[in-house]
Amino acid sequence: MNTPTPFQYLEAENIQYQVFYHPRAETAAETAVMAQIPQNILAKVVVVELSDSSINQVTKDALVVIPSDCKVFPAELARALRCDQVSVASEAKTRQLFPDCEVGAEPPFGNLYGIEVYLARELFERFEITFKGGTHEQLIRMNTIDFCNHTQTQLLDRGYGKVELDIPFTEQITKPWRWI
């Protein structure tokens, strides 16, 4: 069975959304700059593996959707999700789970891939959610309630936090400036 693309899924479910194109940007911080969106509004998807030794060493995959100016804290996230260990999935694992997406641009539609989705509370409290649409050049914006209802999202209050990011930003200057 072929997994529908996020766009095919949204169209089939008759969900309203917008697509925004921007210059190629690999990281969430770069994407926010290129798309001119505040980092705390842009959502990024972190693919994680949850391990639980109480259930015969079972490992399952999950998507953690957090603001792009945050990062996952695995030990705290493990406590929040009541599992033994959380680790960020490798690029090879991510490529295997999302063969139709560029690595690092996975959309948070875990329901399409049989993966649980955990959403940061501050993103849930916003009217709209904006995230990468499978490539490093497009974003999808949609109603947050529609997103949560269709992905069976679980809310997350901890296990992630803000980080200070130094974004190398070069400004193109057409003329040299000088003090007056």
Virtual torsion, Cα 145, 146, 149, 153, nearest 10 deg: -70
Mean pLDDT of 132-138: 94
Residue 170 has pLDDT above 60, yes or no: no
Mean pLDDT of 76-101: 93
CB 7 within 8 A of CB 133: yes
pLDDT value, residue 54: 67
Alpha helix (H) residue ranges in 65-118: 74-80, 91-97
Question: Per-residue pLDDT tens for 34-56?
Answer: 999 999 999 999 999 999 876 56
Residue 175 has pLDDT above 60, yes or no: no
Question: Per-residue pLDDT tens for 62-73?
Answer: 999 999 999 999
pLDDT value, residue 111: 92
Question: Per-residue pLDDT tens for 20-31?
Answer: 999 999 999 899
Cα separation of 117 and 30, whole Å?
24
**Structure-token pair, residue 28:** 């969430």
pLDDT value, residue 174: 47
Contacts of residue 172, defined as CB under 8 A and 6 or more positions apart, other chains included, come to none
pLDDT value, residue 68: 94
pLDDT value, residue 59: 84
* DSSP 3-state percent helix, strand, coil across the chain (nearest 5): 25, 30, 45
CB 19 within 8 A of CB 138: yes
Could you tell me the pTM of the whole model? 0.86
Determine the topology of domain 6-158 in CATH: YbaK protein (3.90.960)
Q: Count of residues for the chain? A: 180
pLDDT value, residue 171: 44
pLDDT value, residue 166: 54
The pLDDT confidence band at residue 165, using thresholds 50, 70 and 90, is: low
Domain coordinates in residue numbering, the chain: 6-158
- For 113-143, b/e burial (b = at least 16 CB within 10 A) is bebbbbbbeebbeeeebbbbbbebbbbbbbe
Closest to 40 (Cα-Cα) out of 152, 129, 141 = 129
Q: Is 56 exposed, middle or buried (0-12, 13-18, 19+ CB in 10 A)?
A: exposed
